């Protein structure tokens, strides 16, 4: 990203397929609600678990969208999804506890486990399991030291999902072993060819209250810089999570919270739906273009806004390839080394967080480019 | 606080001397700058260390206010002072490392040390040392396992300061032992009978770059709910702090950052100065009133907006006393047990974060109240 910006500042034309946040603006009703709260002086500390009206609104989201009853009591508003995962891990992971996650995966998740003195254990995953964990993999790698599993569906960087049945099977497997599931659903509303889903709708999982479900306003509502997320927290963990939230964050940002209340409205959902369609169209162009340019996309990504493409047909070293694509084709992408230890040199992550005409131009450049060596 | 709110909702008149945040609104220029940023769509992720213009503005604050050169490179913008202390501790404290702090003190500091798997070691302090640590105390209690010292000047709950000479002596003592100082200056601009100071102005401390200096927009600029703080970070710790900031926070809230740039202006400083005078006048009324009501205030608090009063002349159990004052006199205060293990039963914390007429009324009620037993 730094290299892409530097090239642009130097006057070159760069197609940005490296950016990990939506290019859309925050929906107007959210902006208006936040602005009104600021004008009204509602910018003081809030309850550490979030303002009651936002917790209620999130509870209402689960009722309306998925037909499930998530009591507001169990909804913890956080400083972004990062804050949610940090609280969940700090409340449950003791020193040297192992936590399983998919490799490749979002790098911050591994590092937050380390911050809590736990040991992240990346399980190599590939196209055969849609780049996701399975109940079988979890069972195979479970040990005495294992405390839990972090799942992300859809995943960054792969854009792939865990099928609802498999997700429920993993959660049940973990539950039976006395472990904890952390399910990252921050891209859950950005899915294509299917309806949004939540692990909480799987039979038994909501009542047992075992998974921590992490979510965010950042991607769904294009609110990255506001720093607002949430977590559905098992009842047994609420006291620890609240104590940690008070100490580490005091409260989530107030302007973002008052804005967030306005996100769960039909007007904003219509905006989200429009953007979802735009993302789907971009994905199709990008995936086809990558395949035509010599990249491998063995599994069609069905969510988020990423394609994790096999690149070793073009260059055995994805870091070098990323640099060459930037320098020679004017296309920015992220090398696999950002996402784990499993074949990072053979993959690049491409994002579709830029306008369709930019993606079309990026694909044109990739197709025209040929390795010079 | 919960009990005070409940009493008020039940129709009783309560004087709030328990609240730990300023009653003043965020200054207008800050509100306008944040609102404009939101309207302009500047609500995306920022650099994890903060927007360059805010880091420059904070660097300028040290130059203008204290005549010292703190390069913007060393200024890390954070999600509140809590976020700053969390980053500083996580970057330096290993598991089982001991960290010294004054008891009584701000409870979150102890808990953040625990979150980083360190061991908080509270040193009992009293009126003889202005309820603060000294270089002698630090030297006496330093052990092989000690990693550093957290200082807060002014302190919550005592409102007392560490004299600049003593602060420099502590920092030098810690430095010579290869330890780290974390200096909380979040109330540094709210001092009375004297000019604001920073430990960074002590000879040698800025160049050596050993202390982490934590600060915040919350108290100085009445921006609690915005969640914006900063840290002056030693050069050697910057890479670790940046990595931690990226993983745990991604970036501080964007609206707060753009608002914060407008805080360091003559117009806002004039507002801060006016409020500082108001706090000083309130303090005088409260301290005199507490003394007239049988509380002990052996050291005049010279900063923040707290009085940590000896209450054992009225009741040997401060928790019971707080409840009785609320129920019988309609005055809310915080019992000492929130702040440590050193004589908590003999102290109450009173805040002067409410209007002067409220404080006058609170004092009237306290003076009129007599223990019924």
Cβ burial, residue B319 (10 Å; 0-12/13-18/19+): middle
- Chain B residues near residue A112 by CB distance under 8 angstroms: 247-248
Measured between alpha carbons, how far apart are the two ends of chain B, in Å? 25
* Cα angle A222-A223-A228, degrees, rounded to a multiple of 5: 140
Which residue reads 């810690």 in tokens?
B174
- The answer to whether A213 and A200 have CB atoms below 8 angstroms apart is yes
Question: Would the CB atoms of A249 and B83 count as touching at under 8 Å?
Answer: yes
CA B27, B31, B32, B37 dihedral sign is: positive
Give the nearest partner residue to B247 out of A25, A111, A251, using CB atoms. Answer: A111
Give the three-state DSSP class for B49.
Answer: coil
**Could you give the CA distance from residue B145 to residue B124 in angstroms, rounded to a whole number?**
19
- Chain B residues near residue A254 by CB distance under 8 angstroms: 225-227
- Per DSSP, what are the bridge partners of residue A213? A183, A232
Q: Give residue limits of the domains in chain B.
A: 2-25+267-368, 29-264
Task: State which H helix or E strand residue B232 sits in.
Answer: strand B229-232
pLDDT at A2: 83
Instruction: Match domain B29-264 to its CATH number in 3.40.50.280, 3.40.640.10, 3.50.50.60, 3.40.50.410.
Output: 3.40.640.10
Give the nearest partner residue to A253 out of B226, B246, B248, using CB atoms. Answer: B226
Question: Would the CB atoms of A43 and B225 count as touching at under 8 Å?
Answer: yes
What is the least distance, in Å, from the CA of B194 to any CA of chain A?
Answer: 28
CATH topology of domain A30-263: 3.40.640
- Chain A residues near residue B21 by CB distance under 8 angstroms: 44-45
Integer-rounded Cα Rg, in Å, for chain A is 21
DSSP label of B34: H
**Could you give the CA distance from residue B135 to residue A171 in angstroms, rounded to a whole number?**
53
- The answer to whether A178 and A187 have CB atoms below 8 angstroms apart is no
CATH topology of domain B2-25+267-368: 3.90.1150
Question: Would the CB atoms of B21 and A45 count as touching at under 8 Å?
Answer: yes
The residue length of chain B stands at: 373
Whether a cis peptide bond, with omega within 30° of 0, leads into B157 is yes
- Chain A residues near residue B45 by CB distance under 8 angstroms: 21, 224-225
What the block records as the tokens of B7 is 């009493």
pLDDT at B2: 83
pLDDT at A204: 75
- The answer to whether B66 and A70 have CB atoms below 8 angstroms apart is no
Give the nearest partner residue to B43 out of A79, A115, A225, using CB atoms. Answer: A225
**Nearest residue in chain A measured CA to CA from B259:** A38
Concatenated DSSP letters for B134-177? -HHHHHHH--TTEEEEEEESSPTTT-----HHHHHHHHHHHHHT
- The answer to whether A192 and A183 have CB atoms below 8 angstroms apart is no
* Mean pLDDT on A123-151: 97
* pLDDT tens sequence across A314-342: 999 999 999 999 999 999 999 999 999 99
**Nearest residue in chain B measured CA to CA from A30:** B38
Most A-contacting residue of B5, B43, B101, B114 (CB-CB within 10 A), to test interface: B43
Average pLDDT for chain A: 95
Binned at pLDDT 50, 70 and 90, residue A371 comes out as confident
pLDDT at A209: 60
Residue A373 pLDDT more than 70? no
**Could you give the CA distance from residue B67 to residue B202 in angstroms, rounded to a whole number?**
11
**Nearest residue in chain B measured CA to CA from A228:** B253
pLDDT at A205: 73
Q: Which residues contact B37 (CB under 8 A, 6 or more apart)?
A: B43, B254, B255, B258, B259
**Could you give the CA distance from residue B46 to residue A43 in angstroms, rounded to a whole number?**
21
What is the least distance, in Å, from the CA of A61 to any CA of chain B?
Answer: 24
**Could you give the CA distance from residue B247 to residue A120 in angstroms, rounded to a whole number?**
14
DSSP label of A21: S
Residue A116 pLDDT more than 80? yes
Binned at pLDDT 50, 70 and 90, residue A210 comes out as confident
Residue A372 pLDDT more than 70? no
Integer-rounded Cα Rg, in Å, for chain B is 21
Question: Would the CB atoms of A21 and B45 count as touching at under 8 Å?
Answer: yes
* pLDDT tens sequence across A54-68: 999 999 999 999 999
What is the least distance, in Å, from the CA of B338 to any CA of chain A?
Answer: 13
Mean per-residue pLDDT pooled into runs of 10, chain B (373 residues):
89 95 96 98 96 98 96 97 97 96 96 94 97 97 97 98 93 92 97 94 74 97 98 95 95 98 97 97 98 96 98 96 96 96 97 97 95 62
Task: State which H helix or E strand residue A99 sits in.
Answer: strand A98-103
* Mean pLDDT on A173-185: 94
pTM of the model as a whole: 0.96
* Mean pLDDT on A84-100: 96
Q: Which value does ipTM take for this structure? A: 0.95
What is the least distance, in Å, from the CA of A344 to any CA of chain B?
Answer: 20
Most B-contacting residue of A96, A221, A227, A252 (CB-CB within 10 A), to test interface: A227
B251 interfaces chain A, CB cutoff of 8 Å: yes
What is the least distance, in Å, from the CA of B276 to any CA of chain A?
Answer: 19
Question: Would the CB atoms of A26 and B46 count as touching at under 8 Å?
Answer: no
Which of these ranges, A214-218, A351-355, B115-119, B348-352, has the smallest mean pLDDT?
A: B115-119
Q: Which residues contact B20 (CB under 8 A, 6 or more apart)?
A: B156, B306, B351, B353
B34 interfaces chain A, CB cutoff of 8 Å: yes
Beta strands A146-152 and A119-124, pairing class:
unpaired
What the block records as the tokens of A38 is 């600021």
């Amino acid at each position: 990203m730094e290299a892409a910006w530097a090239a642009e500042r130097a006057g070159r034309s760069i197609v940005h397929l490296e950016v990990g946040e939506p290019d859309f603006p925050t929906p107007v009703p959210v902006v208006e609600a936040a602005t009104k709260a600021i004008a009204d002086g509602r910018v003081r500390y809030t309850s550490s678990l979030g303002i009651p009206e936002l917790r209620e609104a999130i509870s209402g989201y689960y009722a309306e969208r998925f037909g499930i009853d998530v009591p507001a009591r169990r909804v913890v508003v956080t400083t972004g999804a990062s804050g949610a995962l940090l609280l969940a891990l700090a409340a449950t992971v003791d020193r040297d506890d192992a936590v399983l996650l998919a490799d490749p995966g979002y790098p911050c998740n591994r590092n937050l486990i380390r911050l809590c003195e736990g040991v992240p254990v990346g399980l190599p995953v590939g196209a055969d399991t849609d780049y996701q964990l399975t109940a079988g993999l979890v069972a195979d790698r479970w040990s005495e030291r294992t405390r839990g599993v972090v799942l992300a569906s859809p995943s960054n960087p792969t854009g792939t999902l865990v099928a609802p049945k498999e997700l429920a099977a993993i959660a049940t497997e973990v539950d039976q072993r006395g472990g904890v599931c952390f399910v990252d659903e921050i891209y859950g509303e950005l899915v294509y060819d299917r309806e949004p889903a939540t692990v909480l709708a799987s039979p038994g999982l909501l009542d047992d209250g075992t998974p921590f479900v992490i979510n965010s306003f950042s991607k769904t509502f294009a609110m990255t810089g506001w720093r607002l997320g949430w977590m559905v927290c098992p009842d047994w963990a609420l006291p620890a999570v609240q104590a940690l939230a008070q100490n580490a964050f005091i409260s989530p940002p107030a302007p973002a919270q008052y804005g967030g209340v306005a996100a769960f409205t039909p007007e904003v959902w219509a905006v989200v739906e429009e953007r979802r369609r735009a993302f789907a169209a971009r994905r199709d162009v990008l995936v086809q273009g990558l395949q035509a340019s010599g990249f491998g996309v063995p599994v069609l990504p069905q969510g988020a806004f990423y394609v994790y493409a096999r690149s070793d047909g073009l260059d055995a070293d994805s870091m070098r390839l990323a640099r060459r694509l930037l320098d020679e084709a004017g296309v920015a992408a992220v090398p696999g080394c950002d996402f784990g230890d499993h074949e990072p040199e053979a993959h690049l992550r491409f994002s579709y967080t830029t306008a369709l005409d930019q993606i079309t131009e990026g694909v044109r450049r990739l197709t025209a480019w040929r390795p010079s060596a």
